[in-house]
Amino acid sequence: MSRRALTLVVALVVAAVWVPSLRNGFVWDDQYDIIRSDRLHHARAIGDVFLHHAMWSADQPETAIATYRPLALATLAVDYQVWKLRPAGYHATNVLLHVLATLAVLLALSVLVADFRWAAALALLFALHPANAEAVAWINGRSEMLALGFGALAVWAAATRRFVVLGVALLAALLGKETAALFIPVTLAVTFVLRGEGRDRRAMVPALCAAIVAAAAYAGLRGYALGHTALPSHAGAVATLGPVWSRATFAALVPWRSGPIELSTWLASLSTGARVAWAFGGALLAALALTLAARRRWLPAIGLGWWLLAIAPTAAIAALDYPWPGLARWLYIGLPGLLLVVYAAARRLPERVRLAAFTVAAMLFAFASQRAIAAWHDDEALYSAMTSESPDDAWAWRALGTVRLAQARYTDAADCFHSAARFDRTEEIHAAFALEAYAWTFLDRCDEASAQFHAHPVTPALKSEDFDVAEAACRKRLTAKTRRVKSAHANEEIGAAASTKR
């Protein structure tokens, strides 16, 4: 089969596997960015997004949010002009971006892996991986696809000495998501390894210049938009780096989950011994990368470096004293690198064994992806999957309770908020108690609701005015119910007295 035919097969298979996501709706942050906010509903937003932080579109107060992903927001603004509030169109864009990112990964792998057939096999395994559902089947996850697509294009450009393309692709990748900064050292490493002899050995200079120009242009745009929040950091990230590397690698190699993973909750649940073990695993991965580089085993060294650098930013998220779910989408950018390591490790196996392993893995991934796509169908499906897979995830219980409130399932909502309060170990516990009290007002448990709400600090999750309105309605219903009961009793007594007289 020719290269073009094999490329077409990869594209068609990827599209076929992910097309079912077109049935999904607006989920999680999609509600804030696309439905509840009108900031992306104007054509001028396509340019405005380059002047604001990433959460600007969600109609949130102008706070210090150190994320800058204008390219992803610009595509959402374009989508709105075409599709308005029809989610299938947005999901079609995501599937298209995933196909294009996969083809870019294939292009990059084709210059790193000698056999194009195996480059296509690795690209297909990446594309079918069920963890990708968090990036592909969720509209807001498209920043990962933009970052990887342009980042992989930059890797190809570095390997083929197209330095103008390298600089442009790096800048576009960074505008997709900050994590794309990993492609700067990766592309420089590729240029160094493939530098060749003679004049070609001087390729490092233009490659370095292209990377510097791209990084400077991005830093200027980011600094203008975000100001003093342009360089986020977290001191606790170093301590969580090892466990996060291990957990992410396990999640990529054994992708059984369909819902997001909440890292801070997972870390908090670990015993000291377990945390040391996970940290040791992360240290081994870092040591392996350095050892491979020292031994000049460049393909697995570059692949493992690509993987570890892609996951590293999640350590800062895990260190936050705030539940921030979503590990799987961070795997998206690094997965091609991890697959390069797996390929390098399996090269000594017979061809038939490798082919059989690829076939089994591809089939399992395709099947698991359908399950993951279904988990992202709507908010209820997503949060139900999270609570089922992580019963101690307080954030998921609180989110599911909010869905139950909107559905007027007040008993179920109160139970969800109670579970959230039971498992929460952060300041967000007050939100769970407040929302549970709010649910009680609809169950005519007015006194209990009032006592619990006023026993905790007011949180952004529920305004005091909203609770007061609900409590007043609760007491009004209770008063009316009491009057009806008394009236019924009085009528019964009158009837009984009349019967006695007769």
**According to the model, what pLDDT value does residue 464 have?**
92
Instruction: Give 3-state DSSP helix, strand, coil % of the chain, rounded to 5.
Output: 80, 0, 20
Q: What is the pLDDT of residues 447-466, one digit of tens each?
A: 999 999 999 998 888 999 99
The token pair at 94 is 């995501």
For 169-177, what is the mean pLDDT? 96
Q: Decide if 140 contacts 29 (C-beta within 8 A).
A: yes
Res 443 pLDDT > 90:
yes
Residue 159 lies inside a defined structural domain of this protein: no
146-175: average pLDDT: 96
pLDDT single digits (tens) 101-118? 999 999 999 999 989 999
Q: How far apart are CA 19 and CA 452, in angstroms?
A: 47
Instruction: Determine the Cα–Cα distance for residues 394 and 435; give it in Å rounded to an integer.
Output: 13
Give CA–CA dist 448/440, Å, rounded.
8
Report if residue 350 sits inside a domain. no
**Is residue 98 in a domain?**
no
Window from 293-302, 380-389, 420-429 with minimum mean pLDDT = 420-429
Contact predicate 322/258, CB 8 Å: no
For residues 393 and 166, what is the distance between their CA atoms, to the nearest angstrom?
42
The residue length of the chain stands at 502
82 CB-near residues (< 8 Å, 6+ apart): 89
**To the nearest whole number, what is the mean pLDDT of the chain?**
89
* Residue 294 token pair: 């020292």
Is residue 436 in a domain? yes
Indicate if the alpha-carbon torsion angle 153, 157, 162, 167 is positive or negative.
Answer: positive
Which burial class, exposed, middle or buried, applies to 265 when counting CB atoms under 10 A from its CB (0-12, 13-18, 19+)?
Answer: buried
Whether pLDDT at 497 is above 70: no
pLDDT score recorded for residue 382:
94
Three-state DSSP class for 371?
helix
Q: Considering only CA atoms, give the Rg of the chain.
A: 27
Confidence of residue 489 (pLDDT cuts 50, 70, 90): low
Residue 352 predicted with pLDDT over 70: yes
Tell whether 112 is covered by a domain. Answer: no
Identify each DSSP E strand in 419-488 by its residue range: none
* Strand ranges in 273-345 using DSSP code E only, listed in sequence order: none
Structure tokens at 32: 């804030």
The pLDDT value recorded for residue 31 is 87
Task: Specify whether the backbone of 109 is left (phi greater than 0), alpha (psi in -120 to 50) or beta.
Answer: alpha
Whole-number percent of the chain with pLDDT over 90:
68
CA distance 76 to 141: 11
In this prediction, residue 480 has a pLDDT band, given cuts at 50, 70 and 90, of confident
Given this model, what pLDDT does residue 197 score? 45
Higher-confidence residue: 266 or 378?
Answer: 378
Residue 32: pLDDT band (50, 70, 90) is confident
The pLDDT of residue 419? 95
Task: Say if 439 falls within a structural domain.
Answer: yes
Q: What integer pLDDT is reported at residue 229 of this predicted model?
A: 52
Over the stretch 333-344, which tens digit does the pLDDT of each residue have? Answer: 999 999 999 999
Looking at residues 187-200, what average pLDDT do you find?
Answer: 73
Tell me how far apart the alpha carbons of residues 75 and 117 are, in angstroms, rounded to a whole number: 33
Mean pLDDT for 127-143 is 95
Tokens of 64: 């210090």
* Domain ranges, residue 427: 391-495
Q: How many Cα atoms occupy the beta-carbon half-sphere of 36 within 13 Å?
A: 13
Task: Tell me the average pLDDT across 3-23.
Answer: 96
Terminal-residue alpha carbon distance, the chain: 101
Is the model's pLDDT at 325 over the cut of 90? Answer: no
pLDDT of 29 higher than 80: yes
What letter represents residue 136's amino acid? Answer: V
| Per-residue confidence band for 142, with pLDDT thresholds at 50, 70 and 90 | very high
pLDDT tier for residue 198 given thresholds of 50, 70 and 90: very low
pLDDT tier at 225 (50, 70, 90 boundaries)?
confident
Q: How far apart are CA 280 and CA 13, in angstroms?
A: 38
Q: Is the dihedral of CA 174, 177, 179, 182 positive or negative?
A: negative
Give the per-residue pLDDT at 120.
Answer: 96
Nearest to 140 by CA among 394, 280, 353, 332: 332
Which pLDDT belongs to residue 226? 82
SS (H, E, C) 136-169: HCCHHHHHHHHHHHHHHHHHHHHHCCCHHHHHHH
Distance from chain centroid for Cα 479:
47
Residue 495, pLDDT > 80, answer: no
Residue 224 in this model has a pLDDT that exceeds 90: no
Q: Residue 199: its pLDDT value, please? A: 47
Tokens describing residue 331: 């795997």
* Rounded Cα distance, 450 and 474, in Å: 10
At residue 409, the 3 state secondary structure works out as: coil
Q: What's the structural domain count of the chain?
A: 1
Residue 416: inside a domain: yes
Note whether residue 458 is domain-resident. yes
| DSSP string for residues in 91-122 | HHHHHHHHHHHHHHHHHHHHHHSS-HHHHHHH
Do 410 and 439 form a contact (C-beta atoms < 8 A)?
A: yes
pLDDT of residue 230: 46
CB atoms within 10 A of CB 425: 14
pLDDT at 92 over 90: yes
Look-up of token digits 């690795």: 122
CATH of the domain at 449: 1.10.3450
The number of angstroms, rounded, from the C-alpha of 94 to the middle of its chain's C-alpha atoms is: 14
